């Protein structure tokens, strides 16, 4: 059985509050905070991008994996919607940085916010098939929200990395299911800087339909019910959606709490449910069952059922915990700094 | 080894010299040196220049300058050691004359720095540092010397006032130098209030961007005597290098390349540092003057700052440093600076320093110390009155 | 002027993985790697990876920056002594420039160091962050 041998996350230290953004665009901060259940979001500084976040997350995963030689990693997949190059995979630089080259398969994935879970899905398959001893899946984003658009309040940055393997697992992957339809809820055309979205159309038929579609399918496949799970992690474009879908599926606040990071992290796009999973693993106990279901516009959801093993106790503190990165030593910026960091200011070049 | 002398000197205009090109600046200085010396020919030419290629797209300038001096056919070579190029050109001329290969050699230096944007000039200057391990990470020259300054201040308690005192003194001297780019005095408060370039160095701690050329005629004592023009003896020449990257030097509060260059020059001259009465020292940044004085043994480590503040290195002090105004006030056309230092020592030893800049007393031995980049190379000459 | 791709690529082992040379005779480590030990003249070495934490030996804050660094100005540049004694220069990041002090404990983090405008290659490497965990 395949599963997670090592996991790690990395987040920026910088944050911006909803009030800061609202102030500039004349928006009503309290109603955004209430409507999105989001207070602040992470901001990547100019020297941080999807590749750098991925490297640090991967290093943390290697720390928890213990004896995994980077040279034994057979594949590296990075899922993001903010790959620094349109042509040249982020995986090449990350693999080089961790010393995993040259005998390695590499591909970048994209599928809006589920590019990361997609990478995880494929990495697990390689292990199941016996093609390689380890496969590295990374979910990372430094996503952009168009100025004054609702998404500007939530588009954030972060990364999570998972080394999949067959031995010394921290969590076994018991089931996977992927559910996808052609759905024009959110997209970005080539050469456009910001994405477009269908406003309220991104709700019921998009996020909710696919998340429920995948989750219900995996519950059926596994013969399990929501109450069988200790924890659940859903895609979190804001604080509200994952909470609502959890409740509608029959999960509780206690189950989603450890992985419910959006209220202070924002929407880390491809990173969202994977980073939520790392935060959940940080507090999980041996034997715990974790439901994870991502969502990516376009649209689709990847669902996973994880069972935590004894090994979690030995390794959870071999690298920094996700909540520590989320909550400690934060650097707050104003909108001007934020706009400069995110290259939203038009320059003469 | 034959006795070597400097018998004629010349300098072009120094500053933002819009009307003169690289080759015109050189010819101005070179012709003056030739006229002052009375020589009727040269045996060879060395031209110090850091980066005419990056500043004005021109390399191959040994040949170009010989050509424009009207001496096509003359053996000529461009010497490069970043900001020590001029001093190294003087050294090459010294060696060629001392060895007997030539009798009359011109050592010149020139730099044309204003025909490109400020950014391009900064980029060109930065090529004197470690490209892959310093400049790649955003290091600039003020930044490298600023790091030296912080380390020196941390280790020895050198203060902001001591750094400013270097700048104030050099401006006071430069105000009397007809060639200086910035011939005016400044006050200590002005230095500390001027815009910060790289903590703790303000813009008035930094030497400027300058166009300019300088030339000297190096020859044997026999030839100098026959020319019946004022001359000085060059007793010794010494050069040294050190690790390029600051991070790779064992102690960044001292400049080993200058220590070695001074030791070697003094040894050749059969003199000690205590025999030297005044010096031109490479004050590319105020901290550099302080560190260099200590590196060459003129002051104990940590003591050059207080000594400067106390006026010991002023024109009328115990050991006058940079009577010319130094790089700070006179200007710093990179490849020319080292040659201009020789010009100043020549003027002082022959009693020709203008406008009340003459150091009083009977001067016998003077020194010129020139340095490249953040101190990876240095060259020192010891000179004596004829 | 641009950072040509091949020049950058050649330095990956150093910029990405902090590979240094450790000489057999003296046991001293040099970064970047060298063919010859300046102290002993030895030419036999092995490649080692540097540790990722250290302390600031000296620093400056660049306030007037070259064009390609304009967006990041002011930034602090430091010489750091790693826990094995090796010294290297790099930018401080995730840190107010006023906070940088001699003796400060730092960690190495992988960051984007330079980019060649909108079209060119992205150059990655090491920077220093305050060590808070």
Q: How far away is chain C from the Cα of B209, in angstroms, using its nearest Cα?
A: 15
Q: How many residues does chain C have?
A: 133
Report the top-level CATH class of A172-312: alpha beta
B77-93 burial, b if ≥16 CB within 10 A, otherwise e?
Answer: ebbbbbbbbbbbbbbbb
Last residue of one domain, picked from the residues B232, B265, B280 = B232
Considering only CB atoms, B138 lies closest to which of C3, C11, C65, namely C65
B104 with B225, same domain: the answer is: yes
pLDDT in tens, B251-299: 999 999 999 999 999 999 999 999 999 999 999 999 999 999 999 999 9
CATH at residue B15: 3.40.47.10
- The reply to whether A235 belongs to the active site is yes
Are the Cβ atoms of B134 and C72 closer than 8 angstroms? Answer: no
pLDDT in tens, B91-133: 999 999 999 999 999 999 999 999 999 889 989 999 999 999 9
Last residue of one domain, picked from the residues B198, B232, B266 = B232
Most distant pair of Cα atoms in chain B: their distance: 56
**ipTM value:** 0.95
Report whether CATH 1.10.10.10 matches the domain A3-171+326-341. Answer: no
C-alpha span between A292 and C93 (Å, rounded)? 34
In a domain, B350, yes or no: yes
Per-residue pLDDT at B317: 97
B87 with B172, same domain: the answer is: no
C112–B contact, CB cutoff 8 A = no
In a domain, B354, yes or no: yes
Q: What DSSP letter does each residue of B80-138 carry, written as one string?
A: -BTBTHHHHHHHHHHHHHHTTS-SEEEEEEEE--SSS-HHHHHHHHHTTS-TTTTGGGT
Considering only CB atoms, B139 lies closest to which of C3, C64, C77, namely C77
Q: How far away is chain B from the Cα of C67, in angstroms, using its nearest Cα?
A: 6
**Chain B nearest-CA residue for C75:** B138
Element (H, E) at A279: helix A272-283
C47–B contact, CB cutoff 8 A = no
Beta-bridge partners for B196: B202
C-alpha span between B349 and B364 (Å, rounded)? 7
Per-residue pLDDT at C1: 52
- The reply to whether A110 belongs to the active site is no
Q: How far away is chain A from the Cα of C39, in angstroms, using its nearest Cα?
A: 30
pLDDT in tens, C62-105: 999 988 887 788 999 999 999 999 999 999 999 999 999 999 99
Mutation pick from B198, B203, B374 vs chain C, by most beta carbons of C within 10 Å, is B198
Out of A20, A81, A118, A152, the active site residue is: A81
B98 with B200, same domain: the answer is: no
Chains A and B touch (3+ CB pairs under 8 A): no
C-alpha gyration radius of chain C: 16
Q: How many CB atoms lie within 10 A of CB B306?
A: 18
**Chain B nearest-CA residue for C125:** B137
pLDDT in tens, C101-118: 999 999 999 999 998 888
**CATH architecture of structural domain C5-130:** Beta Barrel (2.40)
Contacts of B132 in chain C (CB under 8 A): 7, 11, 14, 32
> Are residues C78 and C107 in contact, defined by beta-carbon separation less than 8 angstroms?
no
Q: Classify residue B211 by its DSSP letter.
A: B
B75 with B175, same domain: the answer is: no
Catalytic residues of B: 83, 332
A329–C contact, CB cutoff 8 A = yes
Mutation pick from C36, C69, C79 vs chain B, by most beta carbons of B within 10 Å, is C79
Are the Cβ atoms of C89 and B247 closer than 8 angstroms? Answer: yes
Q: What is the 3-state secondary structure (H, E, C) of C63-92?
A: CCCCHHHHHHCCEEEEEEEECCCCEEEEEE
A3-171+326-341 matches A172-312 in fold: yes
Mutation pick from C13, C21, C62, C85 vs chain B, by most beta carbons of B within 10 Å, is C62
Considering only CB atoms, A340 lies closest to which of C16, C71, C112, namely C71
Element (H, E) at C107: strand C105-115
For C131, phi then psi, to 5°, come to -85, 105
Per-residue pLDDT at C117: 80
B190 with B320, same domain: the answer is: yes
The A residues from 8 to 27 touching C (CB cutoff 8 Å) are 13-14
Q: Which domain holds residue B201?
A: 138-207+235-385
Last residue of one domain, picked from the residues B199, B232, B265 = B232
10-residue stretch averages of pLDDT, chain A, 349 residues long: 97 98 96 95 97 98 97 98 95 98 97 97 98 98 91 96 97 98 92 86 92 98 98 97 98 98 98 98 98 96 98 98 98 96 87
The span from the first CA to the last CA of chain B, in angstroms, equals: 18
B301 with B314, same domain: the answer is: yes
> Are residues C44 and C61 in contact, defined by beta-carbon separation less than 8 angstroms?
no
Per-residue pLDDT at C120: 87
Q: How far away is chain B from the Cα of C89, in angstroms, using its nearest Cα?
A: 6
Q: Sheet holding C19-23: strands in order across? A: C29-30, C19-23, C45-49
Q: How far away is chain B from the Cα of C65, in angstroms, using its nearest Cα?
A: 8
C117–A contact, CB cutoff 8 A = yes
Q: Report residue A326 as tokens.
A: 């989320």
C-alpha span between B10 and B30 (Å, rounded)? 6
In a domain, B24, yes or no: yes
**Chain A nearest-CA residue for C112:** A47
Per-residue pLDDT at C2: 58
Say if residue B343 is exposed, middle or buried (CB neighbours under 10 Å; 0-12, 13-18, 19+): buried
C132–A contact, CB cutoff 8 A = yes
C-alpha span between B163 and B289 (Å, rounded)? 9
pLDDT in tens, B191-248: 999 999 999 999 999 999 999 999 999 999 999 999 999 999 999 999 999 999 999 9
Among A161, A176, A169, A139, residue whose Cα is nearest residue A308: A169
Residue C3 pLDDT grade (very low, low, confident, very high; cuts 50, 70, 90) = low
Residue C38 pLDDT grade (very low, low, confident, very high; cuts 50, 70, 90) = very high
Mutation pick from B135, B136, B287 vs chain C, by most beta carbons of C within 10 Å, is B136
B68 with B85, same domain: the answer is: yes
Helices of type H across chain B: 22-37, 52-56, 61-68, 85-98, 118-126, 141-156, 160-174, 188-193, 221-227, 256-269, 286-295, 304-309, 326-330, 337-349
Considering only CB atoms, A56 lies closest to which of C91, C110, C132, namely C110
Among A156, B335, B134, A346, residue whose Cα is nearest residue C60: B134
Average pLDDT, chain A: 96
The A residues from 98 to 137 touching C (CB cutoff 8 Å) are 99
B69 with B156, same domain: the answer is: no
Angle of the B61-68 helix axis to the B22-37 helix axis, nearest 10: 60
Q: How many residues does chain A have?
A: 349
Element (H, E) at A76: strand A73-79
Per the omega criterion (within 30 degrees of 0), is the bond before B200 cis? yes
Per-residue pLDDT at C119: 86
Tally of domains in chain B: 2
C62–B contact, CB cutoff 8 A = yes
Q: How far away is chain C from the Cα of B81, in angstroms, using its nearest Cα?
A: 21
Task: List the chains bordering chain B where 3 or more Cβ pairs fall under 8 Å.
Answer: C
**Percentage of residues in chain B having pLDDT higher than 90:** 98
Mean pLDDT of B48-52: 97
Helices of type H across A1-107: 18-25, 29-36, 50-65, 90-98
A34–C contact, CB cutoff 8 A = no
Residue found by looking up tokens 């190059």 in the block: A85
The span from the first CA to the last CA of chain C, in angstroms, equals: 38
Q: What is the 3-state secondary structure (H, E, C) of A97-113?
A: HHCCCCCCEEEEECECE
C-alpha span between B6 and B89 (Å, rounded)? 13
B159 with B170, same domain: the answer is: yes
């Amino acid at each position: 059985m395949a599963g997670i041998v090592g996991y790690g996350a990395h987040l920026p230290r910088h944050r911006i509050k909803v009030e800061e953004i609202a102030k500039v665009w004349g928006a009503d901060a309290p109603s955004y905070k209430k409507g999105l259940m989001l207070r602040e979001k992470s901001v990547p500084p100019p020297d941080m991008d999807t590749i750098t976040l991925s490297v640090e997350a991967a290093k943390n995963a290697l720390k928890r994996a213990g004896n995994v030689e980077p040279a034994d990693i057979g594949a590296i997949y990075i899922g993001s919607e903010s790959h620094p190059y349109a042509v040249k995979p982020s995986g090449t630089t990350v693999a080089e940085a961790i010393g995993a080259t040259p005998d390695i398969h590499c591909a970048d994935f994209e599928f809006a916010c589920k590019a990361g879970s997609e990478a995880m899905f494929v990495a697990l398959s390689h292990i199941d098939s016996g093609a390689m001893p380890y496969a590295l899946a990374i979910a990372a984003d430094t996503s952009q929200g168009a100025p004054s658009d609702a998404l500007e309040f939530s588009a954030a940055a972060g990364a999570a990395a998972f080394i999949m393997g067959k031995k010394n697992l921290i969590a076994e992957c018991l089931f996977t299911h992927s559910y996808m339809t052609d759905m024009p809820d959110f997209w970005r055309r080539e050469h456009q800087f910001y994405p477009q979205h269908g406003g309220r159309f991104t709700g019921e038929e998009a996020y909710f339909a696919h998340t429920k579609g995948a989750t219900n399918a995996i519950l059926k496949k596994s013969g399990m019910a929501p109450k069988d799970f200790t924890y659940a992690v859903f895609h979190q474009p804001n604080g509200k959606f994952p909470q609502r879908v959890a409740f509608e599926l029959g999960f509780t606040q206690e189950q989603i709490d450890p992985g419910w990071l959006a209220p202070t992290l924002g929407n880390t796009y491809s990173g969202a449910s994977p980073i939520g999973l790392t935060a959940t693993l940080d507090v999980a106990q041996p034997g715990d069952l974790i439901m994870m279901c991502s969502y990516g516009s376009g649209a689709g959801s990847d669902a996973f059922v994880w069972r935590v093993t004894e090994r979690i106790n030995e390794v959870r503190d071999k690298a920094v915990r996700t909540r520590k990165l989320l909550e400690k030593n934060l650097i707050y910026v104003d909108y001007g700094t934020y706009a400069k960091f995110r290259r939203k200011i038009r320059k003469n070049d | 080894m034959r006795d070597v002398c400097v018998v004629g000197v010349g300098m072009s205009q120094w500053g933002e010299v819009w009307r003169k090109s690289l080759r015109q600046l050189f010819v101005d200085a070179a012709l003056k040196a030739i006229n002052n010396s009375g020589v009727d020919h040269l045996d060879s030419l060395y031209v110090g220049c850091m980066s005419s290629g990056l500043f004005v797209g021109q390399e191959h300038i040994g040949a170009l300058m010989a050509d424009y001096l009207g001496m096509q056919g003359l053996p000529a070579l461009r010497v490069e050691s970043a900001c020590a190029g001029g001093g190294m050109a003087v050294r090459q001329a010294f060696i060629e004359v001392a060895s007997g290969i030539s009798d009359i050699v011109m050592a010149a230096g020139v730099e044309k720095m204003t025909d490109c944007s400020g950014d391009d000039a900064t980029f060109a200057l930065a090529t004197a540092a470690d490209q892959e391990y310093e400049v790649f990470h955003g290091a600039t020259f003020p930044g490298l010397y600023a790091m030296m300054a912080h380390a020196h201040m941390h280790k020895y308690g050198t203060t902001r006032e001591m750094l400013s005192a270097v700048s104030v003194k050099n401006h006071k001297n430069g105000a009397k130098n007809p060639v200086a780019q910035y011939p005016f005095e400044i006050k200590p408060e002005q230095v500390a209030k001027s815009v910060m370039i790289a903590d703790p160095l303000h813009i008035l701690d930094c030497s400027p961007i300058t166009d300019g050329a300088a030339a000297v005629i190096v020859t044997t004592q026999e030839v100098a005597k026959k020319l019946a023009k004022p001359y000085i003896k060059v007793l010794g020449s010494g050069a040294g290098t050190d690790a390029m990257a600051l991070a790779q030097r064992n102690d960044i509060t001292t400049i080993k390349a200058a220590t070695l260059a001074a030791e070697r020059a003094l040894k050749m001259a059969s003199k000690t540092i205590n025999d030297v009465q005044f010096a031109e020292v490479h004050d590319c940044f105020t901290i550099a003057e302080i560190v260099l004085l200590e590196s060459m043994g003129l002051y104990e480590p940590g003591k050059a700052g207080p000594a400067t503040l106390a006026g010991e290195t002023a024109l009328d002090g115990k050991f006058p440093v940079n009577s010319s105004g130094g790089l700070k006030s006179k200007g710093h056309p990179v490849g020319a600076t080292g040659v201009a230092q020789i010009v100043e020592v020549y003027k002082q030893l022959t009693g020709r320093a203008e406008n009340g800049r003459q150091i009083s007393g009977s001067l016998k031995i003077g020194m010129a110390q020139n340095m490249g980049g953040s101190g990876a190379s240095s060259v020192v000459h010891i000179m004596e009155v004829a | 002027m641009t950072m040509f791709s091949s020049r950058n690529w050649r330095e990956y082992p150093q910029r990405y993985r902090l590979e240094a040379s450790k000489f057999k005779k003296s046991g001293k480590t040099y970064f970047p790697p060298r063919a010859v030990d300046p102290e002993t003249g030895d030419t036999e070495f092995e490649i080692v990876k540097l540790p990722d934490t250290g302390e600031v030996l000296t620093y400056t804050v660049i306030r007037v920056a070259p064009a390609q660094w304009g967006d990041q100005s002011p930034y602090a540049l430091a010489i750091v002594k790693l826990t094995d004694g090796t010294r290297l220069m790099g930018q401080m990041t995730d840190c107010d420039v006023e906070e940088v002090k001699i003796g400060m404990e730092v960690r190495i983090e992988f960051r984007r160091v330079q980019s060649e405008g909108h079209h060119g290659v992205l150059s990655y490497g090491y920077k220093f962050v305050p060590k808070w965990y």
